[in-house]
A and B are shown apart, each in its own frame.
Chain A
Amino acid sequence: MASHESTYQPTSRLSKWLDERLPVQRLMHGQFVDFPTPRNINYLWTTGGLLTFFLAIQIATGIVLAMHYTPTAAEAFNSVEHIRRDINYGWLLRNLHAVGASMFFLAVYLHIARGLYYGSYKTPREVLWILGVIILLLMMATAFMGYSLPWGQMSFWAVTVITNLFSSLDSIIPGLGTKIVQWLWGGYSVSGTTLTRFFSLHYLLPFVIAGVVGLHIWALHKVGQNNPTGLDIKTASDTVPMAPYAVMKDLFALSVFGLLFAWFVFFAPDYLGHSDNYIEANPLSTPPHIVPEWYFLPYYAILRAIPNKLLGVIAMFSSIILLCFVPWLDTSRVRSAKYRPIYKWFFFLFIISVIALGYLGSKPPEGAYVLWARLFAAYYFLHLLVVLPIVGVLETPSKLPHSITESVLGKGGGAAPLKAAAAPERR
């Protein structure tokens, strides 16, 4: 699987027997126990572990919720209330699943921002990065369909608005968009048919995500992890084994992130949602403002910033698709923005733009909000399409350390033998 050989030693006769027939323990040991991890990775590198945890939480709670949920227009809303009121710990499962989705996105955005800052997309990690963008898209599709399931007012109208985006294709080939929308809906309007198919897909996609996550980890372990210096691993002293070092750090980060997760689950479960979703879906009554969940707000702001519907839809989708091309748009020789004195500031402007777009997406599309949304949306694309290629060429990177070890221990420190790192398992 990876460039690194597992040091697995079977200890019992059974494990030796199994190792000769199916070396799964050897594989796991090589990938998740003695896998060499850069010794300088910071806490942003724990987001990968967090994401795996949240995928597992979402699948586990989702499977149990599906046992009690009824995916029909007449009963969906009632069955969610039934889960919250009558099922033992149903309120807990429901909160874990709903808040879990938000935490999943929080972690994935931190994960992506880290990749962008430290240049984790640069060669040889292009495929790893693109797989990540695919996971993001799958997560979005899953979350969008999952949000329709409670069948509240916001569920219904968010589905109506977003699926209707495809009708903008009518301006290219008349009738095409309408056909696609009707095909998605399974009828001439959003209905119970739409709900049932969204439920089916919402159950399917997480397993597809799990599969792509497998590929993502495979690609990661083939090329090795990036690190805050962006330097390649050169010597054994640049790394520590994954267990116990990275594992313990991940566990600590997980317990801290878990505090945030639990806080929302137990003390602010409605904070991340919309009160309109406690009103059952009503096709005859449109809410005054239709807004998506917070994690879609930046894209929603981009969509609305552009006066033409088709172009707005194209801009919204390309804001994510463009990320696939970042490995080639960035022309810098240096990976980490830590050593890129000019680019660093553009990067923070980019992050501020995304946050500002999130705020603007929650506001009605009128007056100054539209103007600012256009400005920030413009910078979003400018950053990816212009700043990344140009700054990479013009900028003189600051001086890089010679090795990962030097960045940790200072000059000359690389010579110091690392007992702990060299013999963590007393092999």
Chain B
Amino acid sequence: MVKMGGAGLALAALGVAAAAWAGPVLAQEHGGTQVARQPWTFSGLFGEFNNNQLQRGFRVYTEICSRCHSLNRIYFRNLADPDGPAFPVDGVKSLAATHQVEDGPDDNGKMFKRPGTLTDAIPSPYKNDKEARAAHNGALPPDLSLIVRARSVENDAPFYLVPYTMVRDVLSGYQESGADYLYAYLTGFQEPPKGFKLGDFMQYNRVFPGHQTAMPPPFAGGDGVVKYDDGTPATVDNYARDVTAFLAWAADPRLEDRKRLGLLVMIYLIITAVLLGFAKRRIWREVH
């Protein structure tokens, strides 16, 4: 009787179920079932970022989002990261040099401007939050460095399905609910339904909590507003996908490291567990 009794087994199962409650049940109230899961190259166990997609996404960010949104935690050097957009270093250097960065004080105590280098952060469109608010009728465009991780989709499954959705999401390593939400948000601007009262300077969005957002539709110019030169169709749908992928990388730049090491660790642990399991059986054989 060294094997776990039925009661013990049930107990353990209940405990595990209790522990796994967390995520989807708690996830923030964004959209719920209206947000469809999208196929992302960086999802799942073997997921990785597509360099070209991140490069296109960076272009969309630069030409559209960066007019209002900062990306404070990303430095020019990050753009050359082989696990990220993987831009050529020389290209990034010359891109950085096109920006004038304030530095100092110099030996005379004066601040001065110099061309940007790889170690500079991507410049913000505004000097500070107050300036940003003043330009946007009081609304603050959030920094986008963490936006994908700071959003998620509520799991509004009925309680009897929660154990199933929990196990499904844990086993599939589902971490892309922020990306799913952002894509749905970027493509979710539409005419308000009849009778919906929009506030001044507000826009109707299908998935935004309360449906009123201060952000104007980002791709109002339609297809072709950002030029792509790698053959990918320059459509609004692709803009939303590509910039979401880029921001997913910005929010989790170590994702590829994590998954690569994770696979090795899992293989190591599985082999260890099997060997220890055999050793344990061998040792206990004479006792029960």
Alpha-carbon distance between A217 and B254 when the two chains are bound, in angstroms: 40
1/0 contact trace for A383-400 toward B, CB 8 Å?
Answer: 000000000000000000
Q: Given the known inter-chain contacts A228-B8, A262-B262, please indicate yes or no for A251 contacting B276, CB distance below 8 A.
A: yes
Q: In the complex, how many angstroms separate the beta carbon of B71 from the nearest chain A beta carbon? A: 13
1/0 contact trace for B169-194 toward A, CB 8 Å?
Answer: 11001110110000000000000000
Of B11, B73, B257, chain A has the most CB atoms within 10 Å of the CB of B11
B134 within 8 A of A: no
A268 within 8 A of B: yes
Q: Given the known inter-chain contacts A279-B146, A355-B18, please indicate yes or no for A420 contacting B25, CB distance below 8 A.
A: no
Could you tell me if A43 and B8 are in contact, using CB atoms closer than 8 angstroms? yes
Could you tell me if B280 and A252 are in contact, using CB atoms closer than 8 angstroms? yes
Alpha-carbon distance between A109 and B146 when the two chains are bound, in angstroms: 33
1/0 contact trace for A253-279 toward B, CB 8 Å?
Answer: 001101100111111111111111011
Could you tell me if B23 and A272 are in contact, using CB atoms closer than 8 angstroms? yes
Q: Chain A, interface size: which category? A: 35 or more
Q: Given the known inter-chain contacts A110-B11, A269-B175, A275-B27, please indicate yes or no for A252 contacting B149, CB distance below 8 A.
A: no
Which of chain B's residues have a CB closer than 8 A to the CB of A316? none
Residues 1-40 of B at the A interface (beta carbon under 8 Å): 1-5, 7-8, 10-12, 14-19, 21-29
Specify the main secondary structure of chain B where it touches its partner.
helix
Q: Which of A39, A102, A420 contacts B22 (CB 8 A)?
A: A102
Alpha-carbon distance between A39 and B287 when the two chains are bound, in angstroms: 7
Chain B residue at minimal CB-CB distance from A369: B159
Could you tell me if B259 and A228 are in contact, using CB atoms closer than 8 angstroms? no
Q: Chain B, interface size: which category? A: 35 or more
Query: Which of B54-62, B99-107, B233-241, B265-273 sits within the interface?
Result: B265-273
Alpha-carbon distance between A421 and B14 when the two chains are bound, in angstroms: 33
Chain A residue at minimal CB-CB distance from B4: A42
Which of chain A's residues have a CB closer than 8 A to the CB of B29? 288-289
Which of chain A's residues have a CB closer than 8 A to the CB of B173? 263, 267-268
Alpha-carbon distance between A337 and B27 when the two chains are bound, in angstroms: 37
Which of chain B's residues have a CB closer than 8 A to the CB of A266? 258-259, 261-263, 265-266
Q: In the complex, how many angstroms separate the beta carbon of A336 from the nearest chain B beta carbon? A: 9
Q: In the complex, how many angstroms separate the beta carbon of A160 from the nearest chain B beta carbon? A: 18
Which of chain A's residues have a CB closer than 8 A to the CB of B254? 84-85, 91
B89 within 8 A of A: no
B279 within 8 A of A: yes
Which of chain B's residues have a CB closer than 8 A to the CB of A338? 5, 7
B111 within 8 A of A: no
Could you tell me if B12 and A408 are in contact, using CB atoms closer than 8 angstroms? no
A-B contacts, CB under 8 A, total: 200
Alpha-carbon distance between A355 and B162 when the two chains are bound, in angstroms: 12
Residues 343-374 of A at the B interface (beta carbon under 8 Å): 344, 348, 351-352, 354-355, 358-359, 362-363
Could you tell me if A408 and B1 are in contact, using CB atoms closer than 8 angstroms? yes
A149 within 8 A of B: no
Which of chain A's residues have a CB closer than 8 A to the CB of B26? 274, 291, 294, 362
Q: In the complex, how many angstroms separate the beta carbon of B150 from the nearest chain A beta carbon? A: 4
Could you tell me if B209 and A288 are in contact, using CB atoms closer than 8 angstroms? yes
Query: Which of A7-15, A193-201, A241-249 sits within the interface?
Result: A241-249
Could you tell me if B169 and A256 are in contact, using CB atoms closer than 8 angstroms? no
Alpha-carbon distance between A344 and B6 when the two chains are bound, in angstroms: 12
Could you tell me if B28 and A275 are in contact, using CB atoms closer than 8 angstroms? yes
Q: List 29 A-B contacts (CB under 8 A).
A: A39-B288, A41-B2, A42-B2, A44-B4, A85-B73, A91-B254, A106-B16, A109-B15, A113-B11, A117-B8, A248-B276, A248-B280, A248-B284, A255-B273, A255-B276, A266-B266, A269-B175, A269-B258, A271-B23, A272-B23, A275-B27, A278-B146, A289-B28, A289-B29, A338-B5, A351-B11, A351-B14, A355-B17, A421-B286
Residues of B within 8 A of A (CB): 1-5, 7-8, 10-12, 14-19, 21-29, 45, 73, 145-146, 149-152, 159, 162, 169-170, 173-175, 177-178, 209, 251, 253-254, 257-259, 261-263, 265-266, 269-270, 272-273, 276-277, 279-280, 283-284, 286-288
